[in-house]
Amino acid sequence: MAELRSSPAAGTPSLPFNPLVPPGLQAIYGECRRLYPEQPNPLQVTAIVKYWLGGPDPLDYVSMYRSLGSPTMSVPEHWHYVSFGLSDLYGDNRVHEFTGPEGLSGFGFELTFRLKREAGESAPPTWPAELMQGLARYVFQSENTFCSGDHVSWHSPLDNSESRIQHMLLTEDPQMQPVRTPFGMVSFLQIVGVCTEELHAAQQWNGQGILELLRTVPVAGGPWLITDMRRGETIFEIDPHLQERVDKGIETDGSNLSGVSAKCAWDDLSRPPDDEDDSRSICIGTQPRRLSGKDTEQIRETLRRGLEINTKPVLPPITGQRPNGMNHDRVPSRKDSLESESSTAIIPHELIRTRQLESVHLKFNQESGTLIPLCLRGRLLHGRHFTYKSITGDTAITFVSTGVEGAFATEEHPYAAHGPWLQILLTEELVEKMLEDLDDLTSPEELKLPKEYSWPEKKLKISILPDTVFDSPLH
């Protein structure tokens, strides 16, 4: 639960330091006072029971400022929300491990949000604070951080109205500068509300490209990317030429989305191995096992490396260490967390061997299935890789192209599994064939489930199934 109050800790603009305010908090207040010197005590939504006292809300506070915008830049008046709690506010290990002043403070960022002020509105709506708490819960629970260009599939109007603004992109706040606190560096990531069509374009191309287009359309965000929950048209309806820019970008650049959390599963259709009773053999179809900690970290590193589109794609070795930053492509849906709570190892990693499979059956729900053409066209045809990580279990499926180094799937053995992690290597010829056969996935509203696609000569089968199939205990 949260309460609304005026900030008692903001101090006055003339005081460079307030000894009663924790140093991390003071540093962020200082950046806010730089922008809003006339608002030293903004309204705040504050957690009644702090997270470090057992409360459910990770953010201690969300401050709400009234911004006059910039008439010369056609930026309208709006409410500016700033979070406090993803960074280390206290430096005493009550929430975040203190790692010194030279690195990142806590997760290294705070969230902001700019909401267009409606005519006659005298106080800021408080629903954005709960939205920010929801994103913060995901970060704390999964330890996956966000970065500029990420997208969040929310699948619901952000303010619980009938709005078309149902998803989010993230970018650097246009005004707030990174601050160095005694506990490390803090940057500010701004939430930008977008329509479903804009989210799909960001997935198929990249988030930064769509953000740049939004900046060129005043009613869809403008230079400061103000979210207008009453916006009834997408940028492609407002300016049809923008779709051409997206299509050209996809063709030229491909997609920088290297993976998603999804409802997915896979079965080994090969003949059972002779030593099927050997504890080192893992048969997903009959006895699902959990990903080891090292496998989980490798998948995270795989996804993170997907962002490095200017370097040759490389899958890190199985023994790869935990990266400093978590994957920046995968984001949660409104109801599902990316990371399975049972992702800790229950099988000693060294006892799980990599197995070559002769035939596999891949299963996806409709939403995940509609991303397969993106995976093939936007990733594999550009020499990259794409990973589906199950949100209902510990299964992972990674598609790799022949240009990806470090994969345990090879052209000689294109299907390979390490525990519940399956890798599938697809040649360019097969990708082109699959894109033709999967063309109806581009019109999901016309798809009748279940739907099966098969390439017998490749011993590969893909099924698109209802969500309910993945909610059963077998998956």
Report the distance separating Cα 138 and Cα 127, nearest Å.
17
Report yes or no: 257 and 201 within 8 Å, Cβ to Cβ.
no
Q: Say how many C-beta atoms besides its own lie within 10 A of residue 33's C-beta.
A: 20
Report the distance separating Cα 332 and Cα 153, nearest Å.
7
**pLDDT, tens only, 1-48:** 567 765 544 433 333 455 678 999 999 999 999 999 999 999 999 999
State the pairing for strand pair 104-116/184-194. parallel
Report the distance separating Cα 318 and Cα 306, nearest Å.
17
- Paired residues of 389 in beta bridges: 261, 396
- pLDDT higher than 50, residue 232: yes
Between 71-80, 139-148, 343-352, the lowest mean confidence (pLDDT) is in 343-352
Residue identified by tokens 């048209």 is 233
**pLDDT, tens only, 407-425:** 999 999 999 999 899 999 9
Q: Closest Cα partner for 441 from 452, 455, 456?
A: 452
- Paired residues of 400 in beta bridges: 385, 425
- Paired residues of 341 in beta bridges: none
Alpha-carbon dihedral sign for residues 90, 93, 97, 101: positive
Report the distance separating Cα 267 and Cα 270, nearest Å.
9
State the pairing for strand pair 167-172/396-400. unpaired
Question: What pLDDT, on the 0 to 100 scale, is given for residue 91?
Answer: 95
Angle at 387 between CA 381 and CA 388, to 5 degrees: 125
Question: What pLDDT, on the 0 to 100 scale, is given for residue 346?
Answer: 31
Question: What pLDDT, on the 0 to 100 scale, is given for residue 181?
Answer: 96
Q: pTM of the prediction? A: 0.75
Question: What pLDDT, on the 0 to 100 scale, is given for residue 260?
Answer: 87
Question: What pLDDT, on the 0 to 100 scale, is given for residue 83?
Answer: 98
Specify which of 132-146, 286-300, 315-329, 451-465 reaches the highest per-range mean pLDDT: 451-465
Spell out the residues 6+ positions from residue 95 whose beta carbon is closer than 8 angstroms to its own.
Answer: 51, 52, 58, 85, 88, 89, 106
Mean pLDDT of 294-315: 54
Backbone angles phi, psi at 257, to 5 degrees: -85, 110
Residue identified by tokens 């697809």 is 426
**pLDDT, tens only, 41-67:** 999 999 999 999 999 999 999 999 999
Spell out the residues 6+ positions from residue 321 whose beta carbon is closer than 8 angstroms to its own.
Answer: 297
Joined tokens for residue 6: 């005026």
The whole-chain average pLDDT of the chain stands at 83
- Paired residues of 398 in beta bridges: 387, 423
Residue identified by tokens 């490390």 is 184
Between 25-29, 68-72, 270-274, 426-430, the lowest mean confidence (pLDDT) is in 270-274
Mean pLDDT of 286-300: 55
Question: What pLDDT, on the 0 to 100 scale, is given for residue 470?
Answer: 86
State how far Cα 217 lies from the chain centre. Answer: 25
Between 145-149, 334-338, 373-377, 466-470, the lowest mean confidence (pLDDT) is in 334-338
Question: What pLDDT, on the 0 to 100 scale, is given for residue 444?
Answer: 79
Between 113-127, 261-275, 360-374, 428-442, the lowest mean confidence (pLDDT) is in 261-275
Q: Closest Cα partner for 456 from 355, 365, 361, 351?
A: 361
Question: What pLDDT, on the 0 to 100 scale, is given for residue 127?
Answer: 98
State the pairing for strand pair 451-455/460-465. antiparallel
State how far Cα 424 lies from the chain centre. Answer: 23
Report yes or no: 191 and 112 within 8 Å, Cβ to Cβ.
yes
Q: What is the 3-state secondary structure (H, E, C) of the chain?
A: CEEEEECCCCCCCCCCCCCCCCHHHHHHHHHHHHHCCCCCCCEEEEECCCHHHCCCCCCCEEEEEEECCEHHHCECCEEEEEEECCCCCCCCCCCCCCCCCCCEEEEEEEEEEEEECCCCCCCCCCHHHHHHHHHHHHHHHHCCCCCCCCEECCCCCCCCCCCCCCEEEEEECCCCCCEEECCEEEEEEEEEEECHHHHHHHHHCCHHHHHHHHHCCHHHCCCCCCECCCCCCCHHHHCCHHHHHHHHHHHHHCCCCCEEEECEEEEECCCCCCCCCCCCCCCCCCCCCCCCHHHHHHHHHHHHHCCCCCCCCECCCCCCCCCCCCCCCCCCCCCCCCCCCCCCCCCCHHHCCEEEECCEEEEEEHHHHCCHHHHHHHHHHHCCEEEEEECCCCCEEEEECCCCECCCCCCCCCEEEECCEEEEECCHHHHHHHHHHCHHHHCHHHCCCCEEEEEHHHCEEEEEECHHHHCCCCC
**pLDDT, tens only, 93-107:** 999 999 889 999 999
Question: What pLDDT, on the 0 to 100 scale, is given for residue 142?
Answer: 84
Between 226-235, 325-334, 404-413, 451-460, the lowest mean confidence (pLDDT) is in 325-334
Specify which of 203-207, 213-217, 253-257, 304-308 reaches the highest per-range mean pLDDT: 213-217
- pLDDT higher than 80, residue 393: no
Question: What pLDDT, on the 0 to 100 scale, is given for residue 160?
Answer: 95
Spell out the residues 6+ positions from residue 152 whose beta carbon is closer than 8 angstroms to its own.
Answer: 135, 167, 168, 169, 170, 331, 332
With a pLDDT cut of 70, the percent of the chain lying above it is 78
Report yes or no: 295 and 390 within 8 Å, Cβ to Cβ.
no
